[in-house]
Amino acid sequence: MFQSLTNTIRSVYCIRDRFPRYMSELLFQEEQMGALFAVRFRYVIGVALVASAVANLSNIDSVFGYLINFVAIGIYFLNTFIHYQILKKSRGHWKTKYDYISLFIDNLLISITIFNWYILKGDGNPNFLVKTPLVVFYLLPLSLCLFQYRFSLVNFSFVCFLLSYYGFIIFALMDVRSLSGSDWHEYVLGDQLILSDALVTKPTVYLVLVFAISYAIFRSLRMLLKFAAAESQKTTLSRYFSPDLVSEIVSEPEVIAKGKRQKVTILFSDIRGFTQYSEPMDPEALSIFLTEFRRRMVRAIFKHNGSLDKFIGDAVMATFGTPTPSDFTGKDSLNAVLAAKSMLDELAQWNQERMKRGESEIKIGIGIHTGDVFCGSIGSEERMEYTVIGDTVNTASRIESACKDLGVSFLISEAVWMETGSPSGWDKKESVSLTGREQKIHLYAPNSN
């Protein structure tokens, strides 16, 4: 049990170690904003302290009492002003360091104020230092720690309280005028001190609050970590899946965690003569060219609920019906055909822009096939990849390659043609031999008319 508690505490206080560097920097910025808000909130606390001091003016019967009370409040406001200026103007770790100095000053001022009231109204009984309701003011510095995500500030405030509080107890015990007993009535309304209660109760309550605040900070940090992980996952998935599919996958991550066999429509695309075109290009120009080409092709694919499986150099492989097939038969194949037409439209528009700049025309070939595949996450623990595997994938790739032999830019298999309702406007290419396949298949190309 003790080991379990230790592990729990360690997991709470070490959560920051799990943050990546960029998040640690963002968290530091948020802490500084929280520190600024905390300093502004200190003025609200200061007004409450002034109101409390004014409410107790009738109990102050000496110049010394007035002096200590209002000088302490003045120092509090001065410290607040200095802290604000440091946070606004200074750089580096000095901002962080002054948070501890400010907490120490706050706790010190509370201790001085308590001692001042002991001198004024304690009647020589040092038990006043331990029993005074002013001890509750030690919670004010602790409350300011809630505005920042730093366990160390909470712990430091707790240590300051313990030093002051147990210092008062030691001071009381060393004084012969201190009265100890076990009568609860005398403890609450009289002069006696129940030492066991004084040693345990208030520090325990304070400790519980420290743990509660620490856990609240831990939950906030853990939530930030989860949000960051979810956003990172969405960013990664958005490179491969359309926005609608990304939302579905994030809400049900198990849909890509498990491998399964299902019917999927595969689209392959390739730039014609890319090797000869790219050889004279410098690396930077080639990178810009491929980036723009891929951006346009992926936009067309995502427009029709396709998923980007991978880039292979200048080639694009997309899937339709992953991770979840459409509820309507042939819908995925229809989406693939529509995406291919959008890709050709995007290319035609891009070629117009390129030719105006005196650049050469780009041509592509697109092949589409549908059938059963294995789809799921494969790879090692260090690098997982969601992809599809099967003869359908190979066939789609070879259909795309057949575009060169047949002199067309777009071919679909007979299975795709039939799934889309055997539409008119397609030219049938009968008994086409595909590389690596003995059996010939029928292919369809858009009618050129």
* Short-list 13, 31, 37, CA closest to 148: 31
**Interatomic CA distance for residues 68 and 50, integer angstroms:** 13
Specify the pLDDT at position 64: 66
With tokens 């002034």, the residue in question is 50
- Mean pLDDT over the full length of the chain: 82
Per-residue pLDDT at 380 exceeds 70: no
What is the band of 1 on the pLDDT scale with cuts at 50, 70, 90?
low
Q: What stretches of 289-409 adopt beta strand conformation (E)?
A: 307-312, 315-320, 364-379, 384-389
What pLDDT, in 10s, does the model give residues 165-183? 999 999 988 887 877 878 8
Question: Greater confidence, 448 or 186?
Answer: 186
- Residue 421, judged by CB atoms within 10 A of its CB (0-12, 13-18, 19+), counts as exposed
For the cut 70, the answer to whether the pLDDT of residue 36 exceeds it is: yes
What token pair was written down for 358? 């005196």
Q: How high is the pLDDT of residue 349? A: 94
Residue 21's pLDDT band (cuts 50, 70, 90)? low
Which neighbouring-strand residues pair with 310? 317
Cα separation, 317 vs 269, in Å, equals 7
Strands 384-389 and 410-413: unpaired
pLDDT of residue 230: 63
Question: Could you read off the pLDDT of 132-177 as tens digits, one per residue?
Answer: 888 999 998 888 888 887 888 888 999 999 999 999 999 988 887 8
Is pLDDT above 90 for 88? Answer: no
Average pLDDT on 272-284 reads: 85
Listed range (42-46, 73-77, 235-239, 340-344) with the worst mean pLDDT = 235-239
Q: How confident is the model at residue 251 (pLDDT cuts 50, 70, 90)?
A: low
3-state SS of 300-327?
HHHHCCCEEEEEECCEEEEEECCCCCCC
Q: Among candidates 227, 357, 347, which has minimal Cα distance to 292? A: 347
Q: Which two tokens stand for residue 113?
A: 């104020």
Query: In the structure, what pLDDT confidence band is assigned to residue 261 with cuts at 50, 70 and 90?
Result: confident
The answer to whether 109 touches 76, Cβ cutoff 8 Å, is yes
More confident residue, 3 or 210: 210
**Kind plus residue range of the DSSP H or E element containing 119:** helix 94-121
Q: What is the pLDDT of residue 22?
A: 59
- The rounded distance, in Å, linking the Cα atoms of 376 and 387 is 6
pLDDT (tens digit per residue) in 420-432: 988 988 999 888 8
Distance CA 126, CA 172 (A): 5
Give residue for tokens 């994938």.
393
E strand or H helix that includes residue 199: helix 195-238
pLDDT at 7 over 80: no
State what percent of residues in the chain have pLDDT above 90: 24
CA separation for the pair 433, 154 (Å, rounded) = 75
Is residue 316 within 8 Å of 302, Cβ to Cβ? no
Angle value at C-alpha 377, between 371 and 380, nearest 5 degrees: 140
Across residues 348-372, what is the average pLDDT? 91
**Which DSSP symbol is given to 193?**
B
- The band of 239, judged by pLDDT with boundaries at 50, 70 and 90, is low
Query: Which DSSP state fits 177?
Result: T
Q: Which domains does the chain have, with CATH numbers?
A: 1-236 (no CATH), 259-446 (3.30.70.1230)
| DSSP state, residue 373 | E
pLDDT-wise least confident of 85-94, 250-259, 319-328, 406-415:
250-259
